[in-house]
Structure 1
Amino acid sequence: MNLLMLSDVYFPRVNGVSTSIRTFARSLARMGHAVTIVAPDYGDDSGQEQHDGHGEFEVLRVPARVIFFDPEDRLMRADAARAMRDALGLREWDVIHIHTPFRAHAMGVQLAREMGVPTVETYHTYFEEYVGHYLPWLPTALGRFVARAASRRLCHGVDHLIVPSAQMVEVLQRYGIDTPHTVLPTGIDLAEFQGGDGARFRERHGIAGDVPTLVTVSRLSLEKNIGFLLRIVQRLVGEFPDLLFLIAGEGPDEARLRRLAGELRIEANVRFFGNLDRRTTLLDAYKAGDAFVFASPTETQGLVLIEAMALGVPIVSTAVMGTATVLRDTHSAVIAQEDVEAFAAQVAQVLRSPELRARLSAAGPNDARRWSSDTLMRQVESLYGSLAQQRAELATT
């Protein structure tokens, strides 16, 4: 099949949506499908990119501008988006898969209408919970109303939804959205999450092998709830004075988190490492942790939890929305409430017990196998084929 994927965000912008799109594209390309991704041009070298770096799929960039309230992201220019839509209309597509609700959505829906091609959209982001963080000047009730109304309009404009968790389906149903859907998390390429050398990471950064260490991998933004994890560290340093909290990721909340660490008097216990290379140093960072900690309440997927499982890193996490789906029936994670005392007690239990850490670690790779992208993408392939066949049958009647 010829598959077109449209998104308002993609690498070099690092986040879960970018990772999900690349996982989709790589898996489907390995299955023999022709995949094209259309995404914003972030400047530098991204506008010159024609392939993903391995020749597996095509990447087309659309000139874009900086968004004043979210400088990490880009908005495709309207004239450039129209020109790209016209160029795409000269090619043949079996399915158009939309990943974000802005210019990419409008481009995909109009292109599909003109060409008679079925549309799929993944509901990646719990927008109702995010709108207050990105538009703080908007009254909360109004922001939630706008997010729900926009979600209804967008979801009713496509043929089929991919929703990463059953919990997110319940949210969409409360919105009154009745578009046909499939519950399907992206999963990860397990081959990419093997190895890793925690001792090497510790040595490189001057961390002794016996220092108790927590790690998290996340975009640094308010909705990721990393401030809560800093309070966990503050609660634990009395028992574990040498405790280190390693934070891998970048984002707009970094300055506030650094200030908070200072206010909590744990600057010496917290280290920020920015975005690390997913093939090398990120794997080492995961493995450097005695436990991976996570507490975001708004995840639709929680891919970093699956990555930690695959690498055999013990997990302590809340289980809400997508993380509840990922952590259900696992043996590699300790589930904690979003309460400082309760969460800290669970982390302390893991840090105190080498036996517990070993048991959680050993269970991780087996837990991660449920989320193999190759297995999950077979379901996507089947969905695409079914939609294309239905559209072809309608065209002949």
Structure 2
Amino acid sequence: MHVVFFSDQHLESFGGAQVSMRLQKRYLERAGHTVTVVAPAMHGPRARTAGRDPGYVDLPSIPITWDREYSFTWPGRRTDAWLDRRMAALPPVDLVHVQADFWGGFIGHRFARRHGLPVVHTMHNRVSVGIHAVSPFPRTTLRLLDGWQRRVLGTPAMTPDGWSYLRGLAAGAAAVTAPSSHFARRLEQHRVFPQVDVVWNGIDDDVLDELLPEVGRPRRPGRPRFIWLGRMSPEKRLLPFLEAVADSAVDAEVHVLGGGGQLRAAQRIVRRRRPQASIVFGGRMPYTDVLRLIADADALVQTSIGFETQGMTPFEAASLGTPTVMSDPDIAAELGSGWWQVPDASVAALAQTLRQAAADIEAGTPPAVDPEVRELFRQSSRTAAMLEIYERVAGRG
């Protein structure tokens, strides 16, 4: 089977969806399938290495962030014609898998429509929550998105909100998948798609097996070790976390990994508050190194609320035997066990939960993670689940 992925961003750029799609591609290819990824070309210093995979079709693009990490391709006839010329040199396509919510989604659905191909659409983004978190004028942004979608895809006019926008994307799909049960149910409740298949994003089997011997070792002595990782933007709530660390007065080691626009603000909080805990900003790291730090930590800290469609890091932590200080109750319910629940969105509640977690870690009584998560979260099992959907949709197509 030849499957074509469509993404808003190049798979070699930073981001949880990109990590997931790289794994999906690798494991589908291991299973004997061909995967082509269509996404905007990267710019900047890493662009030279990003295009080496022959399975990448890099669309003409322009950079849209100051670090040139992320790019944009305008969906329209010129892009359609360019893409069709490139795809004509490749084997016939059996199925389109759109894993994009904006321009990549538009380009993918237009391609499938032109060539009469069935579409599986994976919803990675709770659009309304994300836009309200990052846009100063969210209603205006949603109206513009709705108008853009109607122009590019020909969808009917709707009351512009995040759910109607996702409904317009799903209109061209034979199947819609979501990376968690809670997001799938919300999509169904808001009539985005009648029945949404749940397929978790997974963890690389090879890396997991490499790290498992370290997981079984006794805890390394020392102060409680917490780790926070992700994009440093408002919806991820890094700044409230750092305030909570200072308020909690826990004597702990705190590793903060990732990058983004709030890095300097985060560093200023640490300088101003001078917390009892030592806080180290580790920047961006290779995937395996990040997982190794998660395995070595006593607890992961998850701070976003209502934004994540899955929340990869608590699943990665659970796979490695590490419990989570959990702010989002939906993610907690998905995991089942192995977490300290933060009772509300306040800094005070997070500080109190950090104190409780530190005390439990020092007493040797942290909550145990569900051992089944490790096997259910392996990418090989996630690929097998997705292939069942592909076969169902391709047969229908």
TM-score (norm: length of structure 2): 0.83
Partner of 2:187: 172
Q: What do the CA deviations read for 1:43-84 (whole angstroms, capped 9, x no partner)?
A: 2453664555xxxx7222222112269964210255456402
Partner of 1:195: 211
1:194-233 correspondence to structure 2 within 5 Å = 194-195=210-211, 210-233=222-245
Cα distance in 2, alignment partners of residues 310 and 166 from structure 1: 18
Aligned-pair CA distance for 1:359:
5.7
Cα distance in 2, alignment partners of residues 5 and 325 from structure 1: 30
Q: Of the candidates 334, 346, 350, which is equivalent to residue 343 of structure 1?
A: 350
Cα distance in 1, alignment partners of residues 213 and 103 from structure 2: 41
Partner of 1:203: none
- Name the SS for the 1:93 alignment partner: coil
Q: What do the CA deviations read for 1:109-145 (whole angstroms, capped 9, x no partner)?
A: 1221222210011100111101023321345896794
1:258-297 correspondence to structure 2 within 5 Å = 258-266=267-275, 269-279=278-288, 281-297=289-305
Q: What do the CA deviations read for 1:128-169 (whole angstroms, capped 9, x no partner)?
A: 101023321345896794433321211112221111223223
Q: Is the 8 A contact 2:252 2:276 kept in 1?
A: no
Cα distance in 2, alignment partners of residues 139 and 387 from structure 1: 35
- Name the SS for the 1:195 alignment partner: helix
Amino acid at match of 1:46: A
Q: Of the candidates 224, 249, 256, which is equivalent to residue 265 of structure 2?
A: 256
* Gap regions ≥5 residues in structure 1: 199-207, 392-397
- Name the SS for the 1:293 alignment partner: strand
Q: How many residues in Structure 1 have an aligned counterpart in Structure 2?
A: 371
The alignment status of 1:310 with 2:319, answered yes or no, reads yes
Aligned-pair CA distance for 1:259:
2.7
TM-score (norm: length of structure 1): 0.83
Cα distance in 2, alignment partners of residues 232 and 147 from structure 1: 31
1:115-154 correspondence to structure 2 within 5 Å = 115-139=115-139, 145-154=160-169
Cα distance in 2, alignment partners of residues 277 and 20 from structure 1: 14
Q: 1:359 to 1:148 in 2, by over 3 A?
A: closer
The alignment status of 1:84 with 2:83, answered yes or no, reads yes
- CA RMSD of the aligned region, Å? 3.1
Cα distance in 2, alignment partners of residues 267 and 352 from structure 1: 15
Q: 1:142 to 1:120 in 2, by over 3 A?
A: closer
Percent of matched pairs sharing the same residue: 23
Partner of 2:148: none
Partner of 1:111: 111
Q: Is the 8 A contact 2:37 2:56 kept in 1?
A: yes
Q: Of the candidates 345, 352, 356, which is equivalent to residue 359 of structure 2?
A: 352
Partner of 1:160: 175
Amino acid at match of 1:58: G
Partner of 1:368: 374
- Name the SS for the 2:309 alignment partner: coil
Cα distance in 2, alignment partners of residues 38 and 171 from structure 1: 28
Q: 1:354 to 1:68 in 2, by over 3 A?
A: closer
Q: 1:169 to 1:75 in 2, by over 3 A?
A: same
Q: 1:292 to 1:93 in 2, by over 3 A?
A: same
Cα distance in 2, alignment partners of residues 154 and 346 from structure 1: 39
Q: 1:315 to 1:180 in 2, by over 3 A?
A: closer
Q: Is the 8 A contact 1:220 1:254 kept in 2?
A: yes
Q: 1:333 to 1:185 in 2, by over 3 A?
A: same
The alignment status of 1:4 with 2:12, answered yes or no, reads no
